[in-house]
Chain A
Amino acid sequence: MNTAIEKARAIITGYRGPKIRIMEVCGTHTHEIFRLGIRSLLPENVELISGPGCPVCVTPVSYIDEAIFLAEERHATICTFGDLVRVPGTAGSLAEARSRGARIQVVYTPLDAVTYAEEHPREEVVFLSVGFETTTPSACLALKRAEAQDIANFSLLTANKTMPAAYEAMASHTDAYLYPGHVCAITGTSLPESLTQQGISGAVAGFTASELLTALAVILEKSRSGEPFFVNAYPRVVRPAGNPAARALVETYMEPCDAIWRGLGTLKASGLKIRSAFAPRDARVRFSLPSMSGRENPACHCGAILQGLERPVDCPLYGRACTPDHPIGACMVSREGACSAYYLYGGLGRNFA
């Protein structure tokens, strides 16, 4: 064990201060925290909450319904990240639509979807654009390429989201945020810094064992004073100004809009949609998509889990009807989802040993 890890570990295991809730809002953090068994180090008075940090998990049911409608009623080819294929919509998932004959292509990057469109000029290709500040620039890069090369049969179904509104919406559920390192690398640190004025504390964390433990230790140390604080505990990657080039790219093609978050409802100006100048690239416009309301499985507690109000094990479906092999809620589908992480690393009980 290296000294940085040892030092951070000692601070965490030795914490005897008042009860504190820390919320991670990044799916990769959720996954790494489980994979490394970090929860087993926490004393009783430190609670780690998995917040709305997995883009697949916060995507509303209606979005899946829209994608299935495009595939089955408009005969579009859907290009998507693999996780979304298994997320249940109101009546089934994209995987089920595929088995009925819909064209669903799994891609690794949005640019692969543009390439697919280029190679299949007779198909209408729609990329399912989900994700936070980290992934949105690559979707815009795809748009840029489609524009530059005049690939007319390519459009996006957007459900891109931005974190600021979620930080504010969730503020009463947590005492401090473990801010997402990759998101902050794009946005910079001015927002979390300014949130301290509203009493919202937190530290930016990286993704290695040492970086995660250090950020948690920093939060526990800083919280002793009782004053709101912000610490960039991932300075190796996160600069105060973020990545202005990536933000400019997004601003060229997209503008803020209200967005529905699974579990959180509609948050003002928390999403991104395609600017009207590029309307033909917006699948909702291009295919005159009717508005869809979407209905979640009423027994699924994903909503409460995403807000940190419940733990996955509190959901009656968890581990019984809903497992990674047969997911009912989105949080069990993505490997970054809280339910999936709980289940894979902890089984039915507490995170082991």
Chain B
Amino acid sequence: MTTDDMHSDRDACITLAHGAGGRQTAALIARVFARHFQNPDFTADDAAILPVGSFAAGRAAFTTDGFIVSPWQFPGGNIGKLSICGTVNDLACMGAVPRYLSCAFQIEEGFPLQDLEAIAAAMAKTAKTAGVRIVAGDTKVAGRGQVDKVFITTTGIGECMEGAHPSGSRAEAGDAIIVTGDIGRHGAAILVARRDFAIDAAITSDCAPLAAAVKAMFDAIPDRAAIHTIRDATRGGVGTVLHEIAAESQVGIELNTPAIPVAPEVRGVCGLLGLEPLYLACEGRLVIFAPQAIAPTLVEVLRTLPDSRQAAVIGRVTPDFSGRVVLNTEIGTKPLLPEPSGELLPRIC
């Protein structure tokens, strides 16, 4: 199959030959990946050469993440968009500006070429929004049934911002806790899209790259070190992040339950299935710990950006009940938020 007829044939599928490393592999890369990911650093060689010496702070953030979400497309995104957001957001959480990504595909034999195109297009668009370049990649094809349609792994390098040192162990008593938007959308969207439960609800995933939001926050404050902790609430949701931070920073966390933004349709699905929105996955929501004094500034900056318009302060860090997360309820009680257990939905990201 040549590049041209591969493109013209709407029914074309990925075959084992596309992963064999020969002519068909080269054609696939040229047609799908090189075309969409086009940028000066995209390499045809064995590895991309990157100008990291120019990183001002002399520090780079480096991370990797695998994506196996089922179904591969869902309202609000697809696995391609997700694979960029996940790694970009992980870099941003460390106070880094994402610069370069690599991506590795494992594709099931028979996967439609036009679907792969849709995935590559979503990756390119999301990378552009996030200001990151996809510079290297790998394509493997596995026999039918050995991979569920398509799995993607992305690896990223980010340039650390001068003076920014967010870390899970730096949350302090007196910090305000901010979320960048309403919670649990991604998990709820996947649940509904999977059709395991006979539920119809118009829920779109919150999947979004948040590098710009993070940079805007750091640029809005005089002392970048004042943002103590940023964490991406993915699998396990905001609740899991809060438990992690409470343990890593050895602090107590008090949530103001009515202040936690939850979309009515997400609350509805949670009510039907007996789920706690705090434990539903997000793919475009950060949890930020910073002193009360700068919290209003951060929320204000976040609300000017498209993917964090519903940013809100949801609680505070206290020196009491170290390691625990307590809810302030509407009836004036303070029950514990239970720790997440093993019943979270699989294949969510």
A: which residues have CB within 8 A of B? 1, 5, 9, 31, 34-38, 40-41, 82, 108-109, 111-112, 209, 213, 324-325, 335, 344-347, 351-353
Contact A35 B335 (CB under 8 A): yes
**Interface size bucket, B side?**
20 to 34
Contacts A108-B197, A345-B338, A352-B321 given; does A209 touch B326 at CB 8 Å: no
Contact B336 A347 (CB under 8 A): yes
Contacts of A213 in B (CB 8 A): 331
Give the contacting residue for B339; candidates A40, A111, A344, A352; CB below 8 A. Answer: A344
Nearest-CB distance from A282 to chain B (Å)? 26
Contacts of A34 in B (CB 8 A): 335
Contact B198 A109 (CB under 8 A): yes
25 A/B residue pairs, CB under 8 Å, sorted by A: A1-B330, A37-B335, A38-B331, A38-B333, A40-B335, A41-B331, A41-B333, A82-B343, A108-B273, A109-B198, A209-B331, A213-B331, A324-B341, A324-B342, A344-B338, A344-B339, A344-B341, A345-B335, A352-B326, A352-B334, A353-B326, A353-B333, A353-B334, A353-B335, A353-B336
Closest to A111 in B: B198
Contact A5 B326 (CB under 8 A): no
Contact A352 B198 (CB under 8 A): no
Contact B324 A108 (CB under 8 A): no
B196 at the interface (CB under 8 A from A): yes
Contacts of A353 in B (CB 8 A): 321, 326, 333-336
Contacts A325-B342, A353-B321, A353-B326 given; does A9 touch B332 at CB 8 Å: yes
Give the contacting residue for B333; candidates A36, A324, A347; CB below 8 A. Answer: A36
Contacts across chains A and B counted by CB atoms under 8 Å: 68
A78 to B339, CA, bound (A): 31
Interface residues of B in 301-349 (CB under 8 A from A): 321, 324, 326-327, 329-336, 338-339, 341-343
Closest to B339 in A: A344
Contact A112 B333 (CB under 8 A): no
Nearest-CB distance from B333 to chain A (Å)? 3
Give the contacting residue for A351; candidates B330, B331, B335; CB below 8 A. Answer: B335
Contacts of A335 in B (CB 8 A): 274, 343
Contacts of A347 in B (CB 8 A): 336
Nearest-CB distance from B97 to chain A (Å)? 39
A344 to B336, CA, bound (A): 8
Give the contacting residue for B331; candidates A31, A36, A82, A344; CB below 8 A. Answer: A36
Closest to A343 in B: B338
Contact A1 B336 (CB under 8 A): no
Contacts A344-B339, A345-B338 given; does A1 touch B331 at CB 8 Å: yes
A223 to B343, CA, bound (A): 41
Output the residue of B327, B329, B331, B342 with the most chain A CB within 10 A: B331
A213 to B333, CA, bound (A): 12
Contact B197 A37 (CB under 8 A): no
Contacts of B334 in A (CB 8 A): 37, 40, 352-353
Contact A5 B335 (CB under 8 A): no
A144 to B339, CA, bound (A): 41
Contacts of B326 in A (CB 8 A): 352-353
Closest to A323 in B: B341
Nearest-CB distance from B280 to chain A (Å)? 15
A270 to B329, CA, bound (A): 38
Contacts of B321 in A (CB 8 A): 352-353
Interface residues of B in 248-279 (CB under 8 A from A): 273-274
Other A-B pairs beyond A36-B333, A108-B198, 14, CB < 8 Å: A1-B331, A1-B332, A35-B335, A36-B335, A37-B334, A37-B335, A40-B335, A108-B273, A325-B342, A344-B339, A351-B336, A352-B326, A353-B334, A353-B336
Nearest-CB distance from B328 to chain A (Å)? 10
Contact B341 A325 (CB under 8 A): yes
Contacts of A346 in B (CB 8 A): 336
